[in-house]
Amino acid sequence: MAAFLRFTLLCVFAVVLRATDDPLAVAIGHAKAHPQGDVPASFVAADYRGDLRDLPIGVFDSGVGGLTVLEALKAHDRHHNLTGADGADGVPDFAGERFVYFGDQANMPYGNYSAVGRTDFLRELILRDALFLLGRRQANGTKPPVKAIVIACNTATAYGLDDIRAAVKAWGIPVIVIGVVEAGAQGLAETAEGAQGGVAVLATVGTCASNAYPKAIAKVTGRPVRQLGSASLAAAIEGDPSVKTPIRDIIRADVGAFLKSAAADGAAPIDTLMLGCTHYPLVADEIAAAFAYWREQSDAAGRKPYAALVAPRLKQVNPAAWTAEALWRSLRGAKMMAVTKPSSGDQFFISVANPQWPGVGLAPDGTLAYEYKYGRSPNQVGREDTINVPMTADRLPGATAGLVRDKLPLTWRSLQGAR
Q: CB-based burial of residue 315 (10 Å sphere; 0-12 exposed, 13-18 middle, 19+ buried)?
A: middle
**Dist. CA 365–CA 368, nearest whole Å:** 9
E strand intervals along 125-261: 137-138, 141-142, 148-151, 176-179, 198-204, 225-230
E strand intervals along 76-221: 99-103, 137-138, 141-142, 148-151, 176-179, 198-204
CB-CB contact of 157 with 111 (8 Å): no
> Which position among 133, 255, 277, 336 bears the catalytic label?
277
CB-CB contact of 113 with 124 (8 Å): no
> Which position among 41, 134, 153, 270 bears the catalytic label?
153
SS3 146: coil
**Dist. CA 216–CA 224, nearest whole Å:** 12
| Beta carbons within 10 angstroms of residue 139's beta carbon | 14
The edge-to-edge listing of strands for the beta sheet with 270-275 is 225-230, 198-204, 270-275, 310-317
Task: State yes or no: is 208 an active-site residue.
Answer: no
Q: What DSSP element (H or E) covers 288?
A: helix 284-295
Q: What DSSP element (H or E) covers 121?
A: helix 119-134
Q: Give the closest residue to 160 by CA, choosing from 104, 106, 199.
A: 104
| Beta carbons within 10 angstroms of residue 307's beta carbon | 14
CB-CB contact of 188 with 199 (8 Å): yes
Q: Give the closest residue to 203 by CA, choosing from 400, 103, 65.
A: 65
Phi, psi of 25 (to 5 degrees): -65, -40
**Dist. CA 317–CA 315, nearest whole Å:** 7
Q: Give the closest residue to 47 by CA, choosing from 39, 56, 382.
A: 56
**Dist. CA 89–CA 335, nearest whole Å:** 20
Task: State yes or no: is 153 an active-site residue.
Answer: yes
Residues classed as catalytic: 153, 277
